[in-house]
Structure 1
Amino acid sequence: MTEETLKGKNTQGVLHINEGTLHRVRTIQQNATTGWHGTTILSVRKDGHVVIAGDGQVSLGQMVVKANARKVRRLGDGGIITGFAGSTADAFTLFERLESKLEKHTGQLARACVELAKDWRTDRYLRRLEAMMVVADPRVSLLLTGSGDVLEPDDGLVGIGSGGNYALAAARALMTVEGLDAETIVRRSMAIAAGICIYTNDNVVLERL
């Protein structure tokens, strides 16, 4: 799957997510190996604030091996937040590559992510990495996949990992409730996902901009 095969509005190499592209992302997740299990990452953007949260569970087959893993972190000078689903080692390799792209492109997140996605798709080493990433700065939220896609949600919501669809559905419903800020929506949505997905727990770590 390439950027050209997806249907959506493309701006500077960033594809805006619609229902068609969401279906393709879900298919990627459903076809992934067992290494994708054990996480839920959710990003919510509302009223000028963006929050990314991840649960702490790491599973090996049917066994929980860690309950308080940190899957969300800040990059650069702290003005960019990111979360990952997939292999931890692979994710940290991608974090390092993204930080180098950000240094090269002086904080231009969308351009740095597009360049990383190109490398991820074409590099003989990087294309073996199994992970998905959500990256956000004060202006934009992006989803990166190993297929070379850089996707921007139209509604400011992104969910990935084994419980990502549950958290995303909950967040969409809560976005219509008056008086809820981004962090509250994330916490409630992650709690709902933890109650449904056996690979997700309620030890939530979040970062906010």
Structure 2
Amino acid sequence: MTEVHSTTVLGVVHNGEVVVGADGQATMGNTVAKSNVRKIRKLAGGKIVAGFAGSTADAFTLIERFEEKLNGYGQNMKRAAIELAKDWRTDRYLRKLEAMLIVANAEELLIISGTGDVLEPENGIAAIGSGSNFAQAAAIALKKHAPNLSAEEMVRESLHIAADICIYTNHNLVVEKVS
């Protein structure tokens, strides 16, 4: 059976705002399976936003595990991310999951990968998924040359640019600001 995946998720920290957005396309092989998938979830009463790329079922499993870790570590996002990454790397079941997460709170943005990595981007821009390189390049350029834009405007425009280039990314966006 062909897995459902492919997407673009982008997070930007800019001028005191933290915003995470994603397109809505899910593909099965080289076919669009659904165009309005919601790949962004608010957690911890809206204080944390998580976005996922990869296999949808795998990503939901990881988000559920991340929420469990958040609850276990008193909403400490970085600690929960590190503990999830440890489990992901060592647990035989989790190790087979094919997904990545971007998680953000009001202060920080992290990428969590299945190889045990928890990455905090230096430039306040995190991107995952098939169109991530396009979205990240656009966000870097906007942050450098259009600092008057809000973080939300940067995320939306960068995702639209990625959608214009990447066949696995569409213009049906979901964007969430961390409150």
TM-score category of the 2 structures, normalised to the smaller one: over 0.9
Task: Say if 2:5 and 2:56, in contact at 8 Å, map to a contact too.
Answer: no
Residue 27 of structure 1: aligned partner: none
Sequence identity percentage: 56
Q: In the aligned structure 1, how far is the partner of 2:161 from the partner of 2:22? A: 13
- Equivalent-residue separation in structure 1 for 2:17 and 2:3 (angstroms): 31
- The 1-side partners of 2:74 and 2:30 are apart by 43
Residue among 91, 107, 115 paired with 1:147: 115
Q: How many residues align?
A: 176
Within the alignment, does 1:197 sit opposite 2:166 as a pair?
yes
**1:37-74 deviations in Å (ceiling 9; x for gaps):** 52000000011111110101111111111000000111
Gaps of 5+ in 1: 1-33
Contact 1:36 1:161 (8 Å CA) reproduced: no
Match of 1:81 in 2: 49
Runs of 4 or more off by more than 4 Å in structure 1? 34-37
Partner of 1:120: 88
Match of 1:187 among 144, 151, 156: 156
Question: Following superposition of structure 1 onto structure 2, how do residues 7-156 of structure 1 map, counting pairs within 5 Å?
Answer: 35=3, 37-156=5-124
SS of 2:156 mapped into structure 1? helix
Preserved contact between residue 41 and residue 159 of structure 1 (Cα < 8 Å): yes
1:76 Cα offset (Å): 2.0
Name the TM-score, length of structure 2 as normaliser: 0.95
Closer/same/farther in 2, CA of residues 164 and 140 from structure 1, 3 Å limit: same
Distance 2:156 2:58 in 1: 27
Q: C-alpha root-mean-square deviation of aligned residues, in Å?
A: 1.2
